[in-house]
Amino acid sequence: MSVPIDLHCHSTMSDGLLSPEDLVAHAASKGVRVLALTDHDEVSGLARAHAAAEQHGIALINGVEISVTWKKRTLHVVGLRVDVENSALLMAFQQVREAREVRAREIADGLAKAGIAGAYEGAKEIAGNSVMTRSHFAQFMVKHGHAKNIKTVFKKYMVKGKPGYVNHEWMSLEQALQLIRDSGGVAVLAHPGRYDLGFVNMHLLLHEFRNLGGAAIEVVTGSHQPPQYEQFAKLAHRFDLKASQGSDYHGPGLSFMEMGRLPALPSGCVPVWQDWPEASQLQ
């Protein structure tokens, strides 16, 4: 049976389309009972999300999705139950935010060379005060007719080898796990099936992640195809890691999966929420 828990989603504080309040309301309307808001490198939406969660009678878990560079690849690590007042965490995110600004200028320079002017200003207008992400550039490009949808923009402009791609150095896996651990959180490797790592590197990654104190991997996520649920359930078991689930919802039209539609974790998985008081009623 599926459990109404969603431990990965985004608000307007990063690249989601819904405000923290609207996102929580949406989750509640779809039957979610325990929700983690996990904005990219950003925790400033959590206070607002907590207030909304109280109104809607759902449990809100502190979360964040941290970008990491591992073996020249970008990986995402979700930190759950972090202390959002932890100064090392806040300082690190401030640095990431500044680096994302520099990167955004570089992305815009790349796009300008490909004949697309005004991308920084355009993406900034969409991002407002949020951290600048490739999603904001993608939305700008669709709005101005450079591609028919977000998926096509990414393929044509925003991935490795394309004019709007910048080889950015994020924090190390070790640093991200230390930040999560030191702020009292648990580290979850986000959507491992998206990294295209191959057998050897995936095993190396999971081994290293476990050794650095990682707790779980996402098994059921909007970023996995159904056959990958079993594949990563097996790997979680092999590496003695718990399993997590989350929609990775970014808002209407910007998501692979709607909220409240997550299938159950495959049998044999140990849920990352197993000891959480918020989830005790739901299992």
Binding residues for Mn ion, rule: CB under 5 A, are: 15, 65, 76, 190, 248
The shares of helix, strand and coil residues in the chain, as percent rounded to the nearest 5, are 40, 15, 40
Q: Give the x/- contact pattern for ligand AMP in 61-100, rule: CB under 6 A.
A: ------x---------------------------------
- Which one of 82-90, 122-130, 150-158, 258-266 is the stretch in contact with ligand AMP (CB under 6 A)? 150-158
Under rule CB under 6 A, residue 232 binds ligand AMP = no
Nearest-angstrom CA–CA distance, 272 and 218: 9
Under rule CB under 6 A, residue 135 binds ligand AMP = yes
Under rule CB under 6 A, residue 8 binds ligand AMP = no
Nearest-angstrom CA–CA distance, 42 and 22: 18
Q: Which does 150 bind (CB under 5 to 8 A by kind): Mn ion, ligand AMP, none?
A: ligand AMP
Least separation in angstroms between CB 1 and Mn ion: 25
The residue within the footprint of ligand AMP, chosen from 124, 224, 242, 250 (CB under 6 A), is 250
Length of the chain: 283
Report the residue closest to ligand AMP, judged by CB. 133
**Long-range contact pairs involving 223-232 (C-beta distance under 8 Å, separation at least 24):** 223/190, 223/191, 223/193, 223/194, 223/248, 223/256, 224/191, 224/193, 224/194, 225/193, 226/263, 228/193, 229/263, 229/265, 229/266, 230/266, 231/193, 232/192, 232/193
Residues lying near ligand AMP in the complex (CB under 6 A): 15, 40, 67, 133-135, 150-151, 154, 250
